[in-house]
Amino acid sequence: MNTRITRLFFLIGITALAGALVTAVFAQTQPEPAVRIETASPLHPTFALLDTDGINVLVSGQAISTMQTCGNCHDTTFIAEHSFHVDAGLTQMSAPGSVPGGRAWDTSAGYFGKWDPITYRYLSPEGDTLIDLTTAEWIQAFGWRHVGGGPEEYSREGTLLSDLPASVDDVETSIIDPETGLPIVWKWDESGVVEMNCFLCHTPNPNNEARVAALEAGAFGWANTATLLGTGIVEQVGDAWQYNAAAFDDAGNLLDSYINVQDPRTENCGACHGLTHTDNVTPLIFDPQDNQLWSTLTTGQVMSPQRLANSGLNLQDKDDLSRTWDVHTERALRCTNCHYALNNPVYYRPDETDTPEHLTFDPRRLDFGEYLFRPIHEFAKGQSTQSSLAPEYDNTLRRCESCHSIETTHDWLPYKERHTTALACETCHIPQLYAPALQSVDWTVLQSDGSPRREFRGTDPEQPDLITGYQPVLLPRPTSNNETALAPFNLVSAWYWVSGDPARPVPLRTLQSAWFSGDTYASEIMVAFDANQDGALDSAELLIDTPEKEAVIKARLAALGLENPRIVGETQPYSINHDVTYGEWATRDCDTCHSADSRVAQPLVLTSNLPGGISPTLIGNFPGETLMLEDGSVVFQPDHQEISLYVLGYDAVDLIDTLGALMFLGVLAGVVLHGGLRYFAARRRAPREVELKRVYMYTIYERQWHWLQTIVIFILLFTGLVIHKPDQFGLFSFPFVVEVHNLMAVILLVNAALAAFYHLASGEIRQFLPEPHGFFDQAFKQAIYYLRGIFRGEEHPYEKSRQRKMNPLQQITYLAILNILLPLQIITGALMWGAQRWPEISASLGGLPFLAPVHSLVAWTFAAFIVLHVYLTTTAGHTPVAGIQSMIMGWDDLEVHPHTPQPETE
């Protein structure tokens, strides 16, 4: 009995000891216990990690095949085939120079094949003798911004890269040996290929560093596995990879706590696309010159919910910057909320043109299971000038107005429709980028570390560490309904050497050989560039600004076997659609655009100097011109008039204003001269005794409508002037003046209509109608009187009377004003107002660029007429003010001339 108990205890003891030992060993090897992350899908079932042969990696020890592992449930082949992120241009590759809108050496519209001067390296096409990047080296250099699959898996003909026959002459199976500069065979069977990397977007903290390190090391097949480093699933031991058995259950499936499969989060997108920062607590800090923060580098866009004032950046006037970097990130939106998978049933939008009229919502949707099996990985996108891949998906994303109601929120904005047609939402809602952005890249020279000379905008020129941000340039962008609207852009210019015919960018290796001998600049270059002979090239020296310097580099490139090396410059516009703001931070002051320094016409600096004197070619069709300023810097000056925009308060046709002013001043001068002569003539002449007769000349209504019209016309002329040249009248609020102008126009119109009715009804209209018979004789007689008789104190040829208040010249003048000028002014004015109400009609009559100058010219004519009109009233009565008095009081003192024949009256 005792022994049995002893044995039992012994057994228990041994078992416990062994258990403890096993536990201890496990505790040693087991990494940090995995925590299921809250953002992960709560439903994702457990699964086994499979290698390319479909064998559990725990068994085979091979790299994880995402296509096999995820492909167990999801149709990964379908996904990879329906993803421009994967394809990157591979399936559309063509011979250099045949890409629409591309450079002479571009071979596709995508990342794989479209050369970019910022990254410079060139994927050499088949058949080139001078090779820059082979496929393998492209993956090493550019794979960090590619999700795998596509060109990292298949050849340009569609063969699996590892199935290609090895050949040292094929850019797809070779790599340039950095030692010799000669191609050697790339062993795809050893390196493996990079499959589409599901983990990169669908796990919460993918190890991008380890992935990129594997790519750069040429361990392509392990890159996707490396993405999981740090999750506790796999570890790196030396160069080898080991799976952690503790992360798997007995069946070889991952334990639930290790499965963090998720919808892509903002950070996942940010790994390739630019700076994202969703942690609102930690102050945002980043290096604005970091090539890896792609969109941030090229545009200054930062996706962060943080207020600028709370960031860790050295921003100018930071304390006042209470706005957030991006309102959508602030409002907890993710990239995928707008850039969703096109068949995601939550976001799916049926083609509106196909929707029958009786439906506002079509509830028929893809089943979630179907969607998860085959989610189309073509993501909804906008239309960026810098990305030419997959244009068939342009504007598939929900644009601003598909979520936001402009109707209810922009009532404060005068001419709402006009503004929202002419301007993209981004123009006012991304008024400024607060991070620096690339301005230019100059590869014609190399800095001592081998990098190009770069300039950034958005920093203080005096203190480069102080970030000022910049205002993007406004250029026309096609809208989804085939119109154009001004939208914000950054312009990145680049200069670089090309050679040969057809042209190719000079390979980096060759360029480096031309510049450096060993680790230092070649002595020939120092002689040519080191002006102050201090043994180093500073930023003022490292610049091709003389033909001599250019010749040195050219000769050195030619000596390396390059044919006709030459400098090319280009300017790439980058669309800006993020970093949106609202409320007081959006542009809402009319003066921003409606003033002499209009935002619409604001130029953007391209560079502080022109390498080789080469003016860069703007990529794309944008109106405007590249100008060199006096200080040698070069700007792009957009021209909005070319797209038929006329900005009141900024645009003015100088010719019209000059003509108008000349006319006005001419009339004024004539009046002064005539009046002066009259004055002196009258002094020389003895005063005339005349008999006066009081006549009730103007009825009370006639006087009322006259003076109302007077004051309204004065206000119209003044407010019109303020609208025309708001900078000269800074006191007045532009929108208020515009509204007053419109209101006065209505009063004028009503007053004119009532007066017309009165004159017609009362028969007084005949006062305005010249008698056809003998009109010219009479007019001539009247003109002669003004030119001669009036100085001699002669009597008026046509005496004013109750029945005939106007002389023939007056009649013809008023007839012209009332029948030509007034209608013209009313119609042009109404059409300008109507540019938002009935834009088609306004546009068909020339639009604002035609209507506005006509309106201005007529306004000048009116102003001139008023001068003349007021002056002529002084000639009408027996004293200079008699005419005005009669229009005030109604009574006129008429001279009695018994001998003068009175015009016949009816």
Partner 1 sequence: MKDFKYIWIVGIVVTVLIVTIPVFLFIANPLQAGNDPWANMPEHPVHTDHSHLITGEYTTGQEVTARCLECHEDAAHQVSQTAHWTWLSDPVQIDRFDEPIQTGKANLINNFCIGIQSNWPGCTRCHAGYGWSDETFDFTNEANVDCLVCHDQSGTYVKSTAGNPADGVDLVSVAQSVGLPTRENCGGCHFNGGGGNAVKHGDMDESLYYPDENIDIHMGGYNFQCIDCHRTTDHAITGRSMSVSIENSNQVACTDCHSTDLHEDDRITAHLDTVACQTCHIPNGAVREATKMEWDWSTAGRDDIEEDPHVYLKIKGSFIYESNFVPTYDWFNGNVERYLYGDLIDPNGVTVLNAPLGGINDPNSLIWPFKIHRAQQPYDTVYDYLLQPKTVGEGGFWTEFDWDQALRLGSEVVNMDYSGQYGFATTDMYWNLSHMVAPKERALQCTDCHGESGRMDWRALGYYGDPMTWGGRTTPSVETAAANGQAND
Three-state secondary structure call for residue 616: coil
744 binds partner 1 (CB under 8 A): yes
CA distance 131 to 504: 10
882-889 vs 847-876: helix crossing angle, rounded to 10? 100
**In the set 368, 707, 775, 838, which binds partner 1 (CB under 8 A)?**
707
Tell the smallest beta-carbon distance from residue 709 to partner 1 (Å).
Answer: 10
Q: How far is the CB of 579 from partner 1 (least distance, A)?
A: 16
| 744 vs 831, beta carbon nearer partner 1 | 744
Helix (H, G, I), strand (E, B) or coil at 816: helix
Q: Using H for helix, E for strand and C for coil, what is the string for 225-260?
A: HHCCECCCCEEEECCEEEECHHHECCCCEECHHHCC
Pairing mode, strands 617-618 and 566-575? parallel
Please report, as residue ranges, which positions from 644 to 703 form the binding site for partner 1 (by CB under 8 A): 696, 700, 703
Residues counted in the chain: 906
Count residues contacting partner 1 (CB under 8 A)? 42
Assess contact for 39 and 254: CB atoms under 8 A: no
**Cα separation, 575 vs 788, whole angstroms:** 69
* Binding residues for partner 1 restricted to 322-351, rule: CB under 8 A: 322, 324, 329-332
Binders in 488-507 for partner 1, by CB under 8 A = none
Interaction of residue 736 with partner 1, rule CB under 8 A: yes
Residue closer to partner 1 (CB basis): 405 or 728: 405
Cβ nearer to partner 1, comparing 247 with 716: 716
Q: Which one of 131, 580, 605, 712 is in contact with partner 1 (CB under 8 A)?
A: 712
Q: Which is nearer to partner 1, 559 or 692 (CB)?
A: 692
Give the tokens for residue 503.
Answer: 């042209």
Nearest to 145 by CA among 16, 36, 364, 295: 295
Question: What residues numbered 415-474 form the site for partner 1, per CB under 8 A?
Answer: none
Phi, psi of 894 (to 5 degrees): -95, 145
Ranges within 582-621 binding partner 1 (CB under 8 A): 582-584
93-132 residues near partner 1, rule: CB under 8 A: none
Binding mask 204-223 for partner 1 (x = CB under 8 A): --------------------
Q: Any residues with CB less than 8 A from the CB of 361 and at least 6 apart, and which?
A: none
- Cβ closest to partner 1, residue 330 vs residue 651: 330
Q: Which range touches partner 1 (CB under 8 A), out of 45-53, 378-386, 576-584, 868-876?
A: 576-584
Nearer to partner 1, 38 or 534 (CB): 38
- Shorter beta-carbon distance to partner 1: residue 44 or 566: 44
Task: Give the pairing type, strands 624-628 and 891-895.
Answer: unpaired
Q: With CB under 8 A as the contact rule, which of the stretches 3-11, 17-25, 425-433, 886-894 interacts with partner 1? A: 886-894
Which tokens is 772 given?
């056809």
d(CA 292, CA 297): 8
Q: Which is closer to partner 1, CB of 6 or CB of 39?
A: 39
- Closest approach, Cβ 747 to partner 1, in A, equals 7
Instruction: State which residue, 334 or 381, has the beta carbon closest to partner 1.
Output: 334
In the three-class reduction of DSSP (H, G, I as helix; E, B as strand; rest coil), residue 894 is classed as strand
Q: What is the 3-state secondary structure (H, E, C) of 724-785?
A: HCHHHHCCCCHHHHHHHHHHHHHHHHHHHHHHHHHHHHHCHHHHHCCCCCCHHHHHHHHHHH
The closest alpha carbon to 711, from 721, 719, 699, belongs to 719
Rounded to a whole number of angstroms, the minimum distance from the CB of residue 471 to partner 1 is: 23
Among residues 401 and 589, whose Cβ is nearest to partner 1? 589
307 binds partner 1 (CB under 8 A): yes
| Short-list 674, 744, 676, 735, CA closest to 709 | 744
β-strand partners of 504:
499
Distance between CA 317 and CA 305 in Å, rounded?
19
- Cβ-based nearer residue to partner 1, 115 or 325: 325
Helix extents (H) in 572-624 = none
Report if residue 201 touches partner 1, rule: CB under 8 A.
no
Distance CA 724, CA 721 (A): 5
For partner 1, the closer of residues 278 and 644 by Cβ is: 278
**Residue 276 to residue 325: CA distance in whole angstroms:** 10
- For partner 1, which residue of 60, 205, 278, 479 counts as binding (CB under 8 A)? 278
Residue from the set 82, 103, 211, 265 that interacts with partner 1 by CB under 8 A:
265
Distance CA 429, CA 582 (A): 6
Applying CB under 8 A, the span of 252-260, 307-315, 340-348, 604-612 interacting with partner 1 comes to 307-315
Specify burial of residue 312 (Cβ count, 10 A radius: 0-12, 13-18, 19+): exposed
Query: Residues 130, 309, 372, 749: which binds partner 1 (CB under 8 A)?
Result: 309
Q: Does residue number 753 form part of the binding site for partner 1 (CB under 8 A)?
A: no
Please say whether the beta carbons of 493 and 339 come within 8 A.
no
**Residue 327 Cβ, how far from partner 1 at the closest point, in Å?**
9
Find all residues with CB under 8 Å of 458, minimum gap 6, and list them.
Answer: 288, 300, 433, 434, 435, 436, 437, 467, 468, 469, 470
Give the Å distances, CA to CA, from 790 to 320, 353, 781, 814, 884.
70, 74, 12, 22, 19
CA-nearest of 77, 89, 64 to 199 is 64
| 10/736 with CB nearer partner 1 | 736
Query: Minimum Å distance from CB 461 to partner 1?
Result: 29
With binding defined as CB under 8 A, does residue 279 bind partner 1? yes
- Shortest distance, CB of residue 656 to partner 1, whole angstroms? 28
Nearest distance from C-beta of residue 405 to partner 1, angstroms: 11
Minimum separation from the CB atom of position 305 to partner 1 (A): 4
Beta carbon nearer to partner 1, 185 or 708: 708
DSSP state, residue 788: I
Binding range to partner 1, per CB under 8 A, among 629-637, 676-684, 757-765, 885-893 = 885-893
Q: Which is nearer to partner 1, 39 or 523 (by Cβ)?
A: 39
Q: How far apart are CA 118 and CA 157, in angstroms?
A: 28
Which residues inside 32-91 make contact with partner 1, applying CB under 8 A? 38-39
The answer to whether 704 contacts partner 1 (rule: CB under 8 A) is yes
CB of 124 to partner 1, least distance (A): 43
Nearest to partner 1 of 331, 788 (CB atom): 331
Binder among 117, 143, 206, 305 for partner 1 (CB under 8 A): 305
Report in angstroms the alpha-carbon separations of 385 from 398, 576, 622.
18, 10, 11
Report the nearest approach of partner 1 to the CB of residue 696 (Å): 6
What do you get for the CA distance between the two ends of the chain, in Å?
A: 153
Task: Choose the stretch contacting partner 1; rule: CB under 8 A; options: 139-147, 250-258, 823-831, 887-895.
Answer: 887-895
Q: Tell me whether the omega of the peptide bond preceding residue 33 falls within 30 degrees of 0, making it cis.
A: no
> Which CB atom, from 332 or from 627, has the smaller least distance to partner 1?
332
The least CB distance from residue 851 to partner 1, in Å, is 23
Comparison of 188 and 862: residue with beta carbon closer to partner 1? 862
Three-state secondary structure call for residue 492: strand
Summarize as ranges the residues that interact with partner 1 (CB under 8 A).
38-39, 265, 278-281, 305, 307, 309-310, 322, 324, 329-332, 582-584, 696, 700, 703-704, 707-708, 711-712, 715, 733, 735-736, 739-740, 743-744, 746-747, 888-891
